[in-house]
Structures are given as structure tokens and as C-alpha cells.
Homo-oligomer: A and B are copies of this chain.
Amino acid sequence: MKVLLTHADFIEFEPTVKELRSADEIEKKLCRYEELVVAFTAIEKGDENKIDQMINEIKTALDRIGVKKILVYPFAHLSNNLAKPGTAKELLQEFIKKLKNEGYEVYKAPFGWTKALHIKVKGHPLAEQLRTV
């Protein structure tokens, strides 16, 4: 499991093309969030028991950054060893649920869609961090 954390002034995204049969059912519209951490997330083969470990990594990172608002952004382009779409979708849901249980304000970008992406990432040394479990 790989998560690229980015501390952003804002992110905007808009779903354009459905990539997978298991893609989320969503409305194609522009979404915008401000002052948050975006968690670009790739679920890999064998991640079934790794969600808790990633939650701990994220907690440590977000404590240091000092942010409680997070957008989970499914992002396959961090790995060449991706889980099957059905498994990835389930584990993303588990990831989001557990982040919410930790008290974070959690949002989600749609899974299984090509998305146009517009992001402004802050320029401090903790603003971009890769976490792998």
C-alpha cells in the first residue's frame, strides 16, 4: 500500500472517463477542497492486513503537519503491483472508515475514474511525503 501525502492550499478534480466496471457511481462534477492533506492512495496486492499500519503512518504524519482534514484520492499511478479493482475498492472503504474513526474530517475522490486534477501543494518540507506499508 502506497500513500503520497500532499499538504495543499486546494485541490480540484473532475471525473471524466469511467475506467472500471467496479467504478464508483457518481455524478460528473467539479469538486474543490481547501486547506487539507490529499492522500493519493494505491492499494497493492497483499494489502488485506495493512490498513491499520497505514493509519498509524498517516496519524504520525498528520500530527506533524497539524491538519485534521484529509481527502483520500485513489491513484493507481504509484505502483506496478496493484490489487484487483474489487479488492482495492473494499480496502479503500476500510481505510476511509478507519480514518473517520480516528476523528479526521475525511473526503473521498471517486474510485475507477479518470479525473482531471488541479492541485496547489504547499512549499514546506513536510508538504510531500510517501508512506509505504
Contacts and interface: CB of A to CB of B under 8 A. Distances in A.
Interface of A: 4, 14, 16-17, 19, 76-80, 114-125, 127-130, 132
This chain: copies in complex: 2
Contact of A114 (B16, B79, B80, B123): B123
A19 B123 CA distance: 12
B125 A116 contact: no
A119 B122 contact: no
A130 B19 CA distance: 16
Contacts of A4: 77-78
Contact of A119 (B16, B79, B118, B132): B118
What DSSP secondary structure best describes chain A's contact surface? strand
A106 to B, nearest CB: 22
A78 B118 contact: no
Given A4-B77, A4-B78, A17-B125, 18 more contacts: A14-B123, A16-B124, A19-B125, A77-B128, A77-B129, A77-B130, A78-B130, A79-B130, A114-B123, A114-B125, A114-B127, A115-B123, A116-B120, A116-B121, A116-B127, A117-B120, A117-B128, A118-B120
A17 B123 contact: yes
A131 to B, nearest CB: 9
B80 A130 contact: yes
